[in-house]
């Protein structure tokens, strides 16, 4: 059926949390859209904060490809926040709809973009939706803080385990059936197999390779298949069932799977993160994310030990031994990169952002020049995937390296000139002062009201967390400051680093990100 046969299109989205709580949440939302007259419905199941949604991007592309004489009159969705995870993508969608004279319709909360006041209202609602996501993250963080104080298990258990009664226990559910010898392996048995292979080969990369070979998964073929995506759209003749949804999505991608492999393809990073998880040795990890949102290394994670000694895959001594093996492999190009040339390592991975849309830059190609050096090109993700960003120009790794290092050299000179300064009292943040003021007001209320008592305890917890956060941030800033001075005060120090792995690690220890605009690094955000 062609697109011109449709009078209305629809878009449905649920978060992974919604779908986990109610497997029919997406189907129910799509049924409402069908009842409202939407024949073809694009859809997504993804995190609330994720902007790169395949269904929504496919919708925008489909609107762009509509002929001039199309018959689509409306695009319907239940609420504004279903299409407004990113203001950049939202207004790109609205722009394309206006070009094709298609009216966006929110069934539950109508809005108007035809007037200045209506557009302002939408902007405010988008900001409110973003604030709600932040508040949700705050509530989850508070819940995790409470679980940490009570030494309970985390929300999710690593591969090989599941949680029962706030404790980690082995997961004996069936996982894989091997056809050759008709052997069935449970989840915990596969976990034991991973450990056995790692001790045989001594490398996360080689472990992932052996596992893929053992289960008959070609890494190159599998990688190409994982990148493939479905159309994320339900047509009029399709029945709204879970089976239909699975057919419309690339099932091999296994979105949201919390195992140490991507789909069926085991990855080096997933193996490393799983092997160093303290749960395997009887510990419960907490505080696994840094203040800037980046994941902590396994050496930085705080752990409560001996929380489930009767359910351990390895001993504490083996846990330390595995981490030491992984540390030593960082300096071993064979172990770290397998058969790949270490010179091709992407030392800027996750560090470069677009000045126009704030999306990450990704490496798109790598060439070897006549002098033997490798030149890589980086471009904006939004431009590459959907053309939604105007930043077309690429930048090479050589230009990035020269400009970022030059900035760090200048910053090292500036910081060294400041010398040792006497510390001055740190001014409390506005948030901390407001919390203290609220606590003081509650403490002045006489009586012993349980609700007030609970509110005061909550305020004290928030104040303590902010004070601890400030102390950790100040300490990290001092360490980062000294690192920049010692590493970049000598301009030739960087050039003397031969191992790309060392360059990558040093960059991450000194900078949070670099912002690029039309081939130029316009901002470098330091970890100080």
> What is the pLDDT at residue 494?
84
Give the pLDDT mean for 5-29: 80
- 14 - beta bridge partners? 45
Pair 329, 336: CB distance under 8 Å: yes
Spatial CA neighbour of 365 closest among 352, 378, 346: 378
> Is the pLDDT confidence value at 226 over 80?
no
Query: What's the Cα-to-Cα distance from 223 to each of 41, 229, 261, 270, rounded to whole Å?
Result: 29, 12, 11, 14
- Number of Cβ within 10 Å of residue 27's Cβ equals 20
> What is the pLDDT at residue 474?
61
Q: Among 115-129, 344-358, 488-502, which stretch is predicted with the lowest mean pLDDT?
A: 115-129
Instruction: Give 223's pLDDT tier (boundaries 50, 70, 90).
Output: very low
Give the pLDDT mean for 427-433: 71
What is the total residue count of the chain? Answer: 528
> Is the pLDDT confidence value at 436 over 90?
no
Helix segments in 290-349, DSSP class H: 316-329, 333-337
> What is the pLDDT at residue 338?
46
Which residues lie below 8 Å from residue 262, measured CB to CB, with a gap of 6+? 226, 253, 254, 270
> What is the pLDDT at residue 9?
95
> Is the pLDDT confidence value at 408 over 50?
yes
Query: What's the Cα-to-Cα distance from 305 to each of 169, 277, 317, rounded to whole Å?
Result: 15, 12, 13
Query: What's the Cα-to-Cα distance from 469 to each of 22, 154, 458, 462, rounded to whole Å?
Result: 36, 21, 16, 10
> What is the pLDDT at residue 219?
44
Pair 78, 29: CB distance under 8 Å: yes
Q: Express each pLDDT in 359-377 by its tens digit.
A: 889 888 888 777 777 888 9
Q: Among 34-38, 143-147, 165-169, which stretch is predicted with the lowest mean pLDDT?
A: 143-147
Look at 151 and 278; give whichever has higher pLDDT: 278
> Is the pLDDT confidence value at 137 over 90?
no
Look at 256 and 63; give whichever has higher pLDDT: 63
Mean pLDDT over all residues of the chain? 78
> How close are the terminal C-alpha atoms of the chain, in Å?
57
Look at 386 and 406; give whichever has higher pLDDT: 406
Give the pLDDT mean for 395-411: 91
Q: Is the dihedral of CA 242, 244, 248, 251 positive or negative?
A: positive
Give the pLDDT mean for 278-299: 76
What does pTM read for this prediction?
0.45
- 184 - beta bridge partners? 177
Instruction: Give 33's pLDDT tier (boundaries 50, 70, 90).
Output: very high
Residue in the block written with tokens 């002045």:
444
> Is the pLDDT confidence value at 198 over 60?
yes
Query: What's the Cα-to-Cα distance from 255 to each of 46, 210, 341, 522, rounded to whole Å?
Result: 8, 24, 30, 35
Ramachandran angles phi, psi of 423, nearest 5°: -70, 140
Instruction: Give the integer Cα–Cα distance in Å for 206 and 328.
Output: 15
Q: How far is CA 124 from the centre of its chain?
A: 26
> Is the pLDDT confidence value at 31 over 90?
yes
Which residues lie below 8 Å from residue 242, measured CB to CB, with a gap of 6+? 23, 24, 27
> What is the pLDDT at residue 53?
79
> What is the pLDDT at residue 174?
84
Q: Express each pLDDT in 47-94 by its tens digit.
A: 655 666 788 888 998 999 999 888 899 999 998 888 876 777 888 888
- % of the chain at pLDDT higher than 90: 20
- 374 - beta bridge partners? 368
């Amino acid at each position: 059926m062609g697109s011109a046969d449709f009078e209305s299109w629809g878009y449905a989205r649920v978060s992974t949390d919604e779908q986990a709580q109610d497997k029919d949440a997406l189907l129910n939302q799509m049924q409402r859209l069908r009842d409202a007259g939407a024949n073809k419905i694009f859809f997504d199941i993804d995190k609330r904060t994720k902007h790169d949604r395949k269904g929504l991007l496919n919708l925008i592309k489909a609107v762009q490809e509509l002929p001039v004489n199309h018959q689509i009159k409306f695009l319907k969705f239940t609420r504004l926040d279903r299409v407004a995870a990113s203001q950049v993508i939202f207004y790109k969608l609205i722009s394309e709809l206006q070009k094709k004279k298609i009216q966006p319709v929110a069934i539950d909360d109508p809005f108007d973009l035809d007037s200045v006041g209506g557009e302002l209202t939408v902007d405010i609602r988008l900001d409110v939706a973003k604030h709600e996501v932040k508040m949700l993250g705050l509530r989850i963080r508070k819940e995790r803080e409470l679980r940490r104080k009570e030494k309970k298990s985390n929300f999710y258990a690593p591969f090989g385990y599941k949680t029962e009664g706030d404790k980690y226990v082995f997961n004996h559910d069936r996982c894989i059936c091997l056809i050759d010898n008709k052997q069935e392996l449970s989840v915990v048995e596969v976990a034991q197999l991973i450990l056995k292979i790692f001790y045989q080969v001594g490398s996360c990369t080689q472990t992932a390779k052996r596992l893929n070979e053992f289960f008959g998964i070609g890494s190159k073929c599998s990688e190409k298949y994982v990148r493939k995506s479905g159309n994320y759209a339900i047509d009029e003749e399709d029945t709204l069932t879970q089976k239909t949804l699975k057919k419309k999505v690339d099932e091999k991608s296994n979105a949201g799977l919390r195992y140490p492999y991507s789909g069926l393809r085991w990855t080096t990073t997933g193996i490393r993160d799983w092997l160093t998880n303290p749960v395997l040795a009887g510990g419960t990890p907490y505080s696994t994310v840094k203040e800037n949102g980046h994941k902590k290394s396994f050496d930085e994670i705080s752990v409560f030990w001996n929380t489930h000694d009767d359910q351990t895959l390895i001993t504490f001594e083996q846990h330390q031994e595995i981490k030491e093996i992984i540390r030593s492999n960082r300096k071993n190009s064979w172990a770290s990169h397998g058969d790949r040339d270490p010179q091709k390592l992407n030392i800027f991975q996750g560090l470069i952002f677009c000045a126009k849309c704030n999306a990450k830059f990704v490496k798109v190609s790598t060439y070897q020049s006549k002098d033997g050096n490798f030149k890589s090109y980086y471009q904006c993700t939004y431009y590459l995937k959907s053309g939604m960003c105007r930043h077309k120009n690429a930048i090479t790794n050589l230009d990035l390296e020269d400009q970022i290092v030059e900035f760090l050299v200048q910053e090292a000179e500036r910081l060294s000139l400041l010398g040792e300064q006497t510390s001055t009292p740190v001014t409390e943040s506005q948030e901390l002062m407001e919390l203290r003021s609220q606590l003081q007001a509650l403490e002045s209320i006489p009586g012993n009201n349980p609700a007030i008592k609970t509110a005061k305890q909550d305020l004290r917890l928030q104040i303590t967390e902010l004070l601890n956060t400030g102390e950790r941030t100040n300490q990290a800033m001092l360490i980062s400051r000294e690192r920049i001075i010692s590493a970049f005060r000598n301009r030739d120090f960087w050039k003397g680093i031969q191992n790309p792995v060392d360059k990558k690690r040093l960059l991450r220890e000194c900078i949070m990100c670099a912002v690029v605009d039309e081939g130029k690094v316009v901002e470098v955000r330091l970890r100080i």
